[in-house]
Structure formats: C-alpha cells, structure tokens
Amino acid sequence: MRKIVGVVIALFLMYPLLVFSCSKVPHFELSRFISPETCGGCHDEIYAQWKASMHNLSHFDEIYRAAAFYHLKGLTESAAIKEAEHCVVCHTPIGYFTGFPKKVSEERDNPEKIPEIAKEGVQCDYCHSATGAYAVYNNQMKLDPGHGEANPGTKRGPFKDSQSDFHKSEYSKFHTSSEMCGVCHDVKHVVFGTKLETTYEEWKKGPYNSPDAEKRIPCQGCHMYHRPGIPATGSTERPKNPGVAAIGGPKRAHIFTHYFVGGNMAMPSLHGDKTKAKMAKERLENAAVLAIDDRNIASGKIAVVVKNVGAGHYLPTGLTDVRQMWLEVVVKDRAGRVVFSSGVADAKGYLPDGAVIFNTVFGDGKGNAVDNIAKAKEILRNHRIPPKGSVEEVIVFPANVPKHLVVRVRLLYRGASQKLVDDLLGAGKLRLPVVVMAETKKDIVL
C-alpha cells in the first residue's frame, strides 16, 4: 500500500514535468509550411544568400549524415540510442515537427519518405514562424506557422512597419536577439544533460553581451552583417547593409544578410557555392591574433599567445570535439635547417602526436575518452580561447637551442581532423581545406 501511495505521489509530483515535456514536442501538419522557393519569389536576394548556406544544407550535409549514421552503430544503452536518434530535431527540423523523420534511423531506412520541404533544412518559414522558445537549447522553438501558400499567416522579423500582399508581418524582438539562434546553437545530451555545444552560453556569459543594449552585439550583429569582403567580426568594421528586403519593398537602412557563414568551407563548395568558402576564410582570418614571447628562450622555452579578437564566443565554438584548430610551430636555425617542429601535418593531412590543439574531449563517465557524443557523460578537456580573451602555450625545445633561430607560428583551422573525414567518407573522398587564421614569425638571436 505504502509503495502504491509513493508511486501515486511521485506521479502527481511529476505531472507538471510530464505535461511540460510533452508540450515541448508539438506536432504540425506538413501542409502548413511553405517552400523557400516561394519566399524567394519576392525575397530574391535573401533567398540567394541562404541557398547552400549551412542552414540550407543542414539535412544534406554529407559529413553530418555520415556521422549520424555512424554514431548509431553498435549502441546498446537506451540513453545513448535516444541521443543518437535525436539529431534530426535541428538538422531536419520541419521533418521532425511534422512527423517524418522523427529519428535518424527513419531517415536512414526510408529516405524516400522525407518531404522536400524538410530536406531544405533550417529554412525561411521555419525561422520566420517562430514566436519564442520553451527553452534556449535543443531546438525547443515555439512555432506559429500559417496554413500553406493559400493562407501563409504571419511572418515575424525586424521591421515595425512592414507590409506585404502575401503574408501578414509582425515585429518580433525575439528575432533580433541571440536567443533566437541559441535555441539550436546550444546542444545538450537529451538524457545525460552533458553540454555538447555551447555557442549561445559562451556568448551570453561573454563581453559581447553588454548589459547596455546599445553596445550589445548579438549573433546577428556579426553573422547577419557578413557579406563578401565584409567579414563583420569583433576585430573588423560591421557596416550597415542598406537595400530592400523584397522586390518592390521600401529602401531600408539595414538588411540583415542570410549567408550564415561560420568556418565551414567544404560543404557549400561541395554543393556548388564558391562564395561561402571565401567568406568563411575571411571570417576565420579575422578571428585571432598570435604573439611570440621569447623571454625564456635561453632555458629552451617560447610562449605563444593566442588571442580571440573576432569571435563573439569561444574559439573554436560549436562542434568543438570535431573541429580542429591548432598551432603549427616550425623553428629553423640560421642555415634554414628545421631544429624543432610541432603540429606539422603529414602528406595525408594527419597531425603528429603532441600538437597543441584547442578542442573539447568527452568522456564515458569513467574518465575514458569517447568519440561518439551519444556516449558523452562528462567533459574531460575543454581547452579553447574565450571571446576577447587569450591563452598562452609554452613550447619546450627538447634539445639545445641554436644561437640564431627563426620561429614561425601559424594558427590553423579545419572543420574536422582529416582522419575523421577519411573514416566517415572513405579515404581520398574529401580533402578538407586548411585555413591560416593567423601567422607570426620572429628572428631570435641569443
């Protein structure tokens, strides 16, 4: 009897939680969402910018798909399977919220059942039907879509006086804030709660989130000012982009751009867009600076200081267990002979042991590293550079230091280790481009 009472009380106490967690996964009819091509009929420039962006490619992204299918293999623990199946909530959001695919395995086994609109990834009508968020992680977006093209409903955005013959318009403070982005750009393990991606949290706790609204630079303040030749980072100008938001629309002081470029060069290029790779390169080249401190060179040590001057979050951010940002150090003597090196990739593009890498390593809860995030119960290492902050790396020479040396240090970036890409896609399938984010050289005479 006592047990039954206990269970009843427990259920009673859990009731709000159960209702809340159910209310977090609303269901919408697919016919309510509108294809991006339709929006593009009037919003032609915005459509062209968004096309082949990582938002448009979030479902098709070959590296994502290979990783998602790979992560599912061989899992036995139900908590891990739950996480591994959940990727679609962000990568194929309209599919998830309209019923198919609800799981990665459904996507893998029945790709022909995925609706075309869902394949378009994070798209116009998804973002512009948003009214807020239940919580700012794991895509817990509150949505209020219209009813298809015949009755498109309200599209929300930055204007207070916007009018269109096609849809109703409404000003939305949410769309001007970082929370809008944080809904998907903070990722937690669905069962273990391990923080897998923390871009929004990093920004929220960082210097760009000024308490003074005038000085605050939200995600949009950099990423939606970015256009070719204007990387719009923390270390470069972020000039306004005057123009029109739609064909025949009024002239506006600023039109938020929709390229959504981060560091990914490979995917947009693979899908036929060369502009975004150039833009990603420009972005990465304005993110960090390097300095060499040779005060302790006599005892065989040099310090390299890496400063994050351009990113509104840590460097790197997002998928930091996969992204590869590292220091390449080459020391030559006067005759040009290499006397020391670290982080120099081999012919296959693989890094040697001992390279200085800025990343995150997840663990299984017992201190062993795991490469499948579905098994991530803890964070074993989180070595990255905070916004406007710096990290000092001390490099120790193994042998005696020559009298005259030339030290060259480069900060390099690529979307993943080449080994991971070879494992996922097959050797030789895709060589990831490496970007020189920063470089410095010093002539030292002892």
- Chain positions 100 to 159 lying near ligand HEC, rule: CB under 6 A, are 122-125, 127-128, 138-139, 152, 155, 157-159
Q: Which residues pair with 361 in a beta bridge?
A: 381
Is 179 a binding residue for ligand HEC by CB under 6 A? The answer is no
**CB-based closest residue to ligand HEC:** 318
In angstroms, what is the minimal distance from the CB of 333 to ligand HEC? 34
Distance CA 241, CA 259 (A): 13
Residue pair 304/327 in contact (Cβ under 8 Å)? The answer is yes
Q: Binding residue for ligand HEC (CB under 6 A) from 132, 171, 230, 388? A: 171
The 308-337 site mask, x for binding ligand HEC (CB under 6 A), equals --xxxx-xxxxx---x--------------
Neighbours of 96 (CB within 10 A): 22
Q: Binding residue for ligand HEC (CB under 6 A) from 46, 304, 385, 438? A: 46
2 vs 27, beta carbon nearer ligand HEC: 27
The 242-281 site mask, x for binding ligand HEC (CB under 6 A), equals ---xx--xx-x--xx-x-xxxxx--x--------------
Distance CA 128, CA 131 (A): 8
53 vs 342, beta carbon nearer ligand HEC: 53
Distance CA 84, CA 372 (A): 9
C-alpha dihedral sign at 55, 60, 63, 69:
positive
Is 306 a binding residue for ligand HEC by CB under 6 A? The answer is no
In angstroms, what is the minimal distance from the CB of 82 to ligand HEC? 10
In angstroms, what is the minimal distance from the CB of 10 to ligand HEC? 29
164 vs 341, beta carbon nearer ligand HEC: 164
Q: Binding residue for ligand HEC (CB under 6 A) from 96, 107, 118, 162? A: 162
Is 220 a binding residue for ligand HEC by CB under 6 A? The answer is yes
In angstroms, what is the minimal distance from the CB of 320 to ligand HEC? 7
Is 373 a binding residue for ligand HEC by CB under 6 A? The answer is yes
Is 343 a binding residue for ligand HEC by CB under 6 A? The answer is no
Q: What angle do CA 259, 122, 25 make, to 5 degrees?
A: 150
Is 89 a binding residue for ligand HEC by CB under 6 A? The answer is yes
**In one letter, which amino acid is 121?**
G
Strand 378-383 versus strand 356-363 pairing type: antiparallel
Distance CA 142, CA 24 (A): 8
Is 165 a binding residue for ligand HEC by CB under 6 A? The answer is yes
